[in-house]
RNA sequence: GGCGAAGUAGCUCAGCUGGUUAGAGCGGUGGAAUCAUAAUCCAUAGGUCGGGGGUUCAAGUCCCUCCUUCGCUACCA
């Protein structure tokens, strides 16, 4: 029996609508989850929203709304995004849910029972206007020696009662864990940062707040709410049942991998494992920090006006086109650049021209020259064998290997190489010419192509599930062979002999056009 | 300042533990073909692998230094 696979996205903070970064993370995580399912693993895929904390409260107040009400609305946008983008999450979790509060308090009690929590005072330079503490080093001096925050607001020395977590105690255990588990933090650059950070010494962490109440109440200290990260990270275990000893919990914890953005690596590779160690729970096997998407090489920000709405892109170019572009063009773990031109170019070249056209030209020949019946195979030619071998290797060796390494763009590169080989084969064999000279040979060629295209469609399912399924449906490929283990099995002849007939093929990957310019950039 | 990452063909990037003529896609150029979504296939385009120095029989691939860009340097998420 294969090992269960538990994967999560970060739990998004919904103080705004989802942006392209959220979509990217969800899509990448979804592709991995889908791959593992097709790879025969039992998968649990969790995503959701982290709705507590000061910012949500502030945002709501700024809008004159109930915080809970705003959270409901914002969270719904994230859920909607998942539906639109074909994200196959098993659970969409909200930190405001009752079971999550219960889980957060349970883990709190474990930390407390382990002697890692103590009540003290948090002191620092506090800006009332920003509602945030700042480090001495961040401050600037204004007129008359007034200390100012980086935002230019006045700060004053403030003392607040707070619970502290003995993070310092875990410095050594964490470093030992990193050393013993080299795959725990990926990519390596993130691991280096984390190790250096921890080696630099860990201070105890303030894990409760009294300045607002939008959060999980601290057990026994009702005027405190838990530090949002402690609460948010707990989602990864509350999602599958913790603190109850459920079947899902037993099966899926520890997580196989948390997929997160590079900006929150520390929370996942220092705080989270420390909390878990303290709670006596196993640690996730891997934390992967992906890169950011840049708009034409520049950071996206509201002030630059280059923030991209993923829903708009999906609508404009199609869900699968967007998914394909992001997974193909961006090397997972590194920053990537986005632009409408790049999407159009990439998707047209790979999906429309190469793969889509390959399927279309082949299926059209079968439809016209064989009346839609799947042609028989009349003996093996070395060229056929070579192509089948090449495609088979890409589908059952290269793509899975790259996926296991979370190298999705490389998996797609291998996939494209196989697509190129098929198009080259079509041109060399020229089945349209064989129709008159050697009809049997034509049938063998078309059958070979049919098999290859089906395998390629099976392999690409994690990336473009909607289109791949449509194509496989058109081709009559049985459900039980639509996975990596059985893609290369003997299904073609039974399907052909069963009298399956394809309909007039319908193109699945229309060529995209660049949308007309809408207003000049400022 | 400290630590780290990166700088490879016009563009976007591959190049693992050093080893035959430095690779791919897109774009460009020249052919072929016409089944197909004017899609495809073949050939090709002569990049001092950021600058300099060093180690080695041999370096894009290791070491030093300089330049440029970027990330991290804790309690806003």
Question: Alpha helices, DSSP H only, in A157-293?
Answer: 171-180, 188-199, 228-233, 235-238, 247-252, 265-266, 272-279
Instruction: State pLDDT tens for residues A286-310.
Output: 999 888 888 766 666 555 566 678 8
Give the model's confidence band at A521: pLDDT under 50 very low, under 70 low, under 90 confident, else very high.
Answer: very low
β-bridge mates for residue A160, sequence order: A122
Nucleotide nearest to A262 (CA to C1'): B71
Instruction: State pLDDT tens for residues A410-450.
Output: 899 999 999 999 999 999 999 999 998 999 999 999 999 99
Nucleotide nearest to A164 (CA to C1'): B75
Same fold, A5-116+166-291 and A340-497: no
A394 burial (CB, 10 Å; 0-12 / 13-18 / 19+) is: buried
- With H, G, I as helix, E, B as strand and everything else as coil, classify residue A166: coil
> What CATH class has A340-497?
mainly alpha
pLDDT at A55 over 90: no
- pLDDT of res. A386: 92
CB-based contacts of A280: which residues, under 8 Å, 6+ apart? Answer: A110, A114
Nucleotide nearest to A423 (CA to C1'): B40
How many Å does it take to go from CA A145 to C1' B45? 65
ipTM for the assembly: 0.90
Q: Are strands A287-290 and A257-261 parallel, antiparallel or unpaired?
A: parallel
**Angle CA A407–A31–A4, to nearest 5:** 95
Neighbours of A349 (CB within 10 A): 13
Nucleotide nearest to A349 (CA to C1'): B26
**Cα–Cα distance, A423 to A428 (Å, whole number):** 9
- pLDDT of res. A363: 97
Contact A51, A61 (CB under 8 A): no
> What CATH class has A5-116+166-291?
alpha beta
- pLDDT of res. A522: 27
Neighbour-count burial for A34-73, b at 16+ CB within 10 Å, e otherwise:
bbbbbbebebbbbbbbbbbbbebbbbbeeeeeebeebbee
How many Å does it take to go from CA A167 to C1' B62? 38
Instruction: State pLDDT tens for residues A340-352.
Output: 888 998 999 999 9
Contact A170, A277 (CB under 8 A): yes
Strand ranges across the sheet with A208-209? A208-209, A221-226, A217-218
Strand B nucleotides within a 7 Å radius of protein CB atoms: 2-5, 12-14, 24-27, 32-37, 39-42, 71-77
Nucleotide nearest to A421 (CA to C1'): B41
Instruction: State pLDDT tens for residues A271-283.
Output: 999 999 999 999 9
How many Å does it take to go from CA A421 to C1' B23? 18
- pLDDT of res. A301: 59
Q: Closest protein residue to B72 using CA and C1' atoms?
A: A193
How many Å does it take to go from CA A73 to C1' B3? 42
Instruction: State pLDDT tens for residues A487-502.
Output: 999 999 999 999 999 9
Six-digit token pair at A203? 């201070």
Q: Closest protein residue to B33 using CA and C1' atoms?
A: A427
Residue A75, CB half-sphere, CA atoms under 13 Å: how many? 20
Neighbour-count burial for A229-248, b at 16+ CB within 10 Å, e otherwise:
bbbbbbbbbbbbbbbeeeeb
How many Å does it take to go from CA A196 to C1' B17? 24
- pLDDT of res. A365: 96
Contact A429, A383 (CB under 8 A): yes
Q: What is the DSSP string of A339-403?
A: -HHHHHHHHIIIIIIIIIHHHHHHHHHHHHHSTTBPPPP-S--HHHHHHHHHHHHIIIIIHHHHH
- pLDDT of res. A129: 64
Nucleotide nearest to A192 (CA to C1'): B4
Contact A194, A174 (CB under 8 A): no
Weakest mean pLDDT among A14-18, A245-249, A297-301:
A297-301
Per-domain residue ranges of chain A: 5-116+166-291, 340-497
- pLDDT of res. A453: 97
Six-digit token pair at A451? 């098999």
How many Å does it take to go from CA A153 to C1' B49? 49
Average pLDDT along chain A = 89
How many Å does it take to go from CA A125 to C1' B1? 23
Work out the end-to-end distance of chain A between its first and last CA atoms, rounded to an integer number of angstroms. Answer: 58
Instruction: State pLDDT tens for residues A132-186.
Output: 677 666 666 666 667 776 666 777 787 888 999 999 999 999 999 988 888 898 8
């Amino acid at each position: 029996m294969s090992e269960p696979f538990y994967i999560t996205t970060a739990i998004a903070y919904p103080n705004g609508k989802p942006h392209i970064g959220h979509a990217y993370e969800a899509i990448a995580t979804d592709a991995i989850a889908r791959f593992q399912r097709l790879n025969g693993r039992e998968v649990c895929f969790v995503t959701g929203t982290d709705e507590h904390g000061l910012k949500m409260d502030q945002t709501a107040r700024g809008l004159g709304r109930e915080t809970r009400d705003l959270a409901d609305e914002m969270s719904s946008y994230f859920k909607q995004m998942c539906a639109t983008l074909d994200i196959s999450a098993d659970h969409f979790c909200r930190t405001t849910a009752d079971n999550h509060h219960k889980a957060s308090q349970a883990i709190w009690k474990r930390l407390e029972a382990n002697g890692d929590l103590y009540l003290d005072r948090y002191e620092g330079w506090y800006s009332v206007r920003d509602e945030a503490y700042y480090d001495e080093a961040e401050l600037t001096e204004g007129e008359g020696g007034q200390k100012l925050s980086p935002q230019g607001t006045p700060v004053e020395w403030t003392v607040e009662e707070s619970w502290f977590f003995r993070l310092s105690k875990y410095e050594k255990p964490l470093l030992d864990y990193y050393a013993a588990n080299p795959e725990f933090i990926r990519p390596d650059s993130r691991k280096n940062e984390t190790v250096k950070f921890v080696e630099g010494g860990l201070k105890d962490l303030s894990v409760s707040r009294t300045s607002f109440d939008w959060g999980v109440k601290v057990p026994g200290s009702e005027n405190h709410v838990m530090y949002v990260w402690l609460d948010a990270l707990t989602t990864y275990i509350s999602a599958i049942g913790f603190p109850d000893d459920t079947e899902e919990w037993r099966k899926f914890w520890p997580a196989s991998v948390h997929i997160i953005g590079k900006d929150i690596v520390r929370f996942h590779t220092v705080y989270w494992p420390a909390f878990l160690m303290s709670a006596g729970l196993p640690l996730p096997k891997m934390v992967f920090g992906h890169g950011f998407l840049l708009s034409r090489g520049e950071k996206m920000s509201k002030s630059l006006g280059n923030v991209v709405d993923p829903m708009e892109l999906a609508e404009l170019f199609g869900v699968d086109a967007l998914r394909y572009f992001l997974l193909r063009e961006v090397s997972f773990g590194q920053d990537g650049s986005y632009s409408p031109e790049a999407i159009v170019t990439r998707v047209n070249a790979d999906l429309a021209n190469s793969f889509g056209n390959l399927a279309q030209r082949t299926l059209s020949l079968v439809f016209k020259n064989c009346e839609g019946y799947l042609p028989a195979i009349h003996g093996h030619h070395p060229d056929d064998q070579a192509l089948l071998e090449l495609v088979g290797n890409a589908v059952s060796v290269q793509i899975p290997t790259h996926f296991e390494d979370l190298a999705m763009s490389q998996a797609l590169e291998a996939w494209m190489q196989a697509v190129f080989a098929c198009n080259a084969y079509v041109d060399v064999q020229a089945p349209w010419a064989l129709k008159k000279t050697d009809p049997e040979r034509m049938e063998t060629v078309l059958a070979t192509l049919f098999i290859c295209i089906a395998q390629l469609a099976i392999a690409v399912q994690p990336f473009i599930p909607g289109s791949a399924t449509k194509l496989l449906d058109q081709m009559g490929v049985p459900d039980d062979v639509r996975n990596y283990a059985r893609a290369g099995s003997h299904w073609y002849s039974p399907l052909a002999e069963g009298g399956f007939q394809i309909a007039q093929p319908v193109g699945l990957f229309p060529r995209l056009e660049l949308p007309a310019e809408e207003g000049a950039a400022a």
